[in-house]
C-alpha cells in the first residue's frame, strides 16, 4: 500500500477521529453578530464556510457535512433569535444526528 501524497489529510493523521465519528454527520455552525460584520468581514464568513471543506478533508463524505448559516447577523447574547443554534442544541441534547 502506497503512501498518501504529501499534504493529503487522512484519518491516520488524526487518530482521535474514529470510524464511528465519520458515520455521523458533521456540523459547521456559522455566525457573526451583526449584518454589518457579515458585509464588512466577508473573509470571516468565507473562512467559516470553508470549514465544511475541512470536514470533508478529514474524511466526512460531503453529503454528511451540514452547514447551519441561518444565524448570520444575529447577536450571540441570546439564543432567542438564533433558530439555527436552537435546532443544533436540541439535536445534540436529544442525541439526534444533525442531518
Q: Give the three-class secondary structure for 5.
A: coil
Closest CA to 69 of 54, 82, 55: 82
Rounded distance between C-alpha atoms, residue 99 and residue 96, angstroms = 8
**33 is known as an active-site residue:** yes
Of the candidates 33, 52, 62, 78, the residue annotated as catalytic is 33
Whether the Cβ atoms of residue 45 and residue 72 lie closer than 8 Å to each other = yes
Active-site residue list: 33
Amino acid at each position: 500500500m502506497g503512501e498518501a501524497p504529501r499534504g493529503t489529510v487522512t484519518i491516520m493523521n488524526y487518530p482521535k477521529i474514529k470510524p464511528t465519528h465519520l458515520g455521523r454527520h458533521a456540523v459547521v455552525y456559522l455566525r457573526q453578530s451583526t449584518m454589518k460584520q457579515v458585509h464588512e468581514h466577508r473573509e470571516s464568513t468565507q473562512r467559516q464556510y470553508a470549514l465544511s471543506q475541512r470536514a470533508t478533508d478529514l474524511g466526512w463524505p460531503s453529503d454528511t457535512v451540514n452547514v447551519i448559516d441561518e444565524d448570520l447577523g444575529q447577536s450571540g447574547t441570546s439564543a432567542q433569535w438564533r433558530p439555527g443554534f436552537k435546532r443544533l442544541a436540541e439535536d445534540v441534547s436529544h442525541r439526534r444526528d444533525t442531518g
